[in-house]
Amino acid sequence: MQDDLEMLLQLQVIDYDLGELERSKEYIPDMMENLRREIEESGKQYSDAQQELSDSMVSQKNLELVVQEKQEELKKLQNQMMAIKTNKEYDALVSQIDLVKETINENETTLLEVIEKIEKLENEIGDIEKKSEETSQQNKKQLGILQEKMDSVGTKVKMKEDERSNITVRIPRQIMSTYDRVRKNRGGAAVVPVRKRACGGCYKSLPPHVIQEIKRHNQLITCDNCGRILIWQDGVSE
């Protein structure tokens, strides 16, 4: 029975490893997708900043052109003042001049805002580009590592399954049946050590005579509360 219990412990470690490998099939692709998304988002942030800078420069040129045209228009209107003969004509021309001045002021204000925006973007875009490149390099490196892990999962699973088969064929069928049933019903550990004279799984106290039976290692003892297989380990069970 001692040998059977030791093989159950080995089996439990293998089953834990198999469980981790199966879970890695789920979380590794998720991690890889997150890394790809970060690369895409950082690249988009840089391209958006470039586009915004380009659009702002176009706006600057257009505004400068509008201001220049309106200033020329203003000069022509002001030159016409010398030829005004009536108050009506004068009032109408003054209204035109005021309207042109207002348009110039509005466009100059907008132009200043655009110029400030361009200066800010030009100062920030270098850092955005650097961050994008660093994110891309770091994440691609991590993607390579994760891809290698993903590629090796199948091989590792096969190795663990072979190890499991080599052990299960040596364990009596009844003991394997108990182990599989507990593992299925409880999940996690099916074999637990006694801890402070209690079940290491559900922590229910064990009667002294049960502890003595566990120490003898001559029969399979299960917890009457959770059903887990109990073992005695020196240094753990004291």
For the segment 218-225, the average pLDDT, to the nearest whole number, is 93
What's the pLDDT at 104?
A: 96
Segments making up each domain of the chain, as ranges: 26-152, 173-231
Question: Where residue 224 falls among pLDDT bands split at 50, 70, 90?
Answer: very high
What's the pLDDT at 73?
A: 95
What's the pLDDT at 94?
A: 94
Q: Is the pLDDT of residue 236 over 90?
A: no
Report the C-alpha gap between 181 and 208 in whole angstroms.
Answer: 26
Residue 229's beta-bridge partner residues?
Answer: 191, 222
What's the pLDDT at 2?
A: 86
What's the pLDDT at 215?
A: 92
Q: Which fold has domain 26-152?
A: Helix Hairpins (1.10.287)
What's the pLDDT at 32?
A: 97
Residue with tokens 């590792």: 156
pLDDT in tens, 31-90: 999 999 999 999 999 999 999 999 999 999 999 999 999 999 999 999 998 888 899 999
What is the distance in angstroms between the CA of the first residue and the CA of the last residue of the chain?
Answer: 21
**pTM (predicted TM-score):** 0.65
pLDDT in tens, 135-159: 999 999 999 999 999 999 999 999 9
pLDDT in tens, 16-25: 999 999 999 9
pLDDT, mean over the chain: 94
For the segment 89-100, the average pLDDT, to the nearest whole number, is 94
pLDDT in tens, 108-119: 999 999 999 999
CB 201 within 8 A of CB 222: no
What's the pLDDT at 238?
A: 65
Report the C-alpha gap between 153 and 151 in whole angstroms.
Answer: 6
Q: Is the pLDDT of residue 187 over 90?
A: no
For the segment 150-170, the average pLDDT, to the nearest whole number, is 95
